[in-house]
Structure 1
Amino acid sequence: SSGLVVVSPEYNGSMSGALKLFIDLLPYPESFENRPICYVGIASGQFGALRPVEHLQQVFGYRNAHNFPRRVFVPAVHEVVDKEKGVLDEKLANRLREQALGFIDFCKALG
């Protein structure tokens, strides 16, 4: 099954309005029906966008998607990711790699 990776910043304690509008404008239910979804939250603060990822899991769950349980949260994103060099923190790079490999297996298992 084709999976979708959602990377979301935190905006006023949730996902951005633009992302929510994009999701809402896609056809229902076929856009996300039985689609595997993986989440990465990014934020400048210390919680790494936990709240928007949890909100997104609820929204995509309502749209009958399959939420991949291994989420990655990136606090202080401006300190650990560089637009030229990529991910600077080795532990974060490993978490993202493990998440990606697990998500590939998750998608294959769903067929």
Structure 2
Amino acid sequence: MNNSFTAADIKMHADIYTIISGTNRPGSNTIRVAKQYFHLLEKKGILTRFVSLEGLDVNSRNDQLRKLEKEALIPARKFIFVVPEYNGSFPGVLKAMIDNTDIEKVWWGKKALLTGVSTGRAGNLRGMEHLTGVLHYLKMNVHHNKLPISVVNRLLNGGKDIEDAVTLKVIDEQLEEFIRF
């Protein structure tokens, strides 16, 4: 996935998007769905960066986190959070990443889209609401169309991507709305 852009690339695009896979769990369904969002946006010609929390030390404000801010977070105008359900909410590693960034530079006044994933029936609805509260506190504009993807393990069905036509249609509609947001 292309995470580096030239000055000309950035100048040509009004908005830079950053997709955040909201867990550090290796090989998760979340990262698979987040990568699918990345590829869908690439096909639409959207300048997109991808952030995985796997192997990232977010428990303190360190050089690794500062580099992530500089390369993927601060330049972004729009964020897509793909967030799994952890104990009725969202992962603490995502909250730690948010808490240890430069809040004003990274988040204030920017836009966010939320997609929840779970193996259960609710698609992390509660976790998306919790995250919405945090993002509102950070002065972010959260898009109204928060997509809960339930039974994600069945939708992925051992494959790399979601292939269910109805789910893909809903994801495409969500992305089109967010592009216009």
TM-score by length of 1: 0.90
Secondary structure class of the residue paired with 1:29: helix
Give structure 1 stretches of 5+ with no counterpart.
Answer: 107-111
| Equivalent residues of 1:82, 1:88 under 8 A apart | no
- 1:20-73 CA distance string (max 9 Å, x none): 101111112221111110000000110000011001100000000000001110
- Does 1:93 pair with 2:162? no
- Does 1:104 pair with 2:179? yes
- 1:71-109 CA distance string (max 9 Å, x none): 110110000125644112111101100000110000xxx
Residue in structure 1 matched with residue 91 of structure 2 by the alignment: 16
The aligned amino acid for 1:36 is K
Who wins on radius of gyration, i.e. which is larger? 2
Please show how residues 50-89 of structure 1 align to structure 2 within 5 Å: 50-82=125-157, 84-89=159-164
Runs of 4+ residues deviating >3 angstroms: 82-85
TM-score by length of 2: 0.56
Give structure 2 stretches of 5+ with no counterpart.
Answer: 1-14, 16-76
Residue in structure 2 matched with residue 26 of structure 1 by the alignment: 101
Larger RCO (CA within 8 A; separation ≥ 6): 1
Residue in structure 1 matched with residue 51 of structure 2 by the alignment: none
**Distance (whole Å) between structure 2 residues aligned to residue 104 and residue 83 of structure 1:** 30
User: May I ask how many residue pairs the two structures share in their alignment?
Assistant: 106
Flag the 1:83–1:62 CA change in 2: closer, same or farther, 3 A. Answer: farther
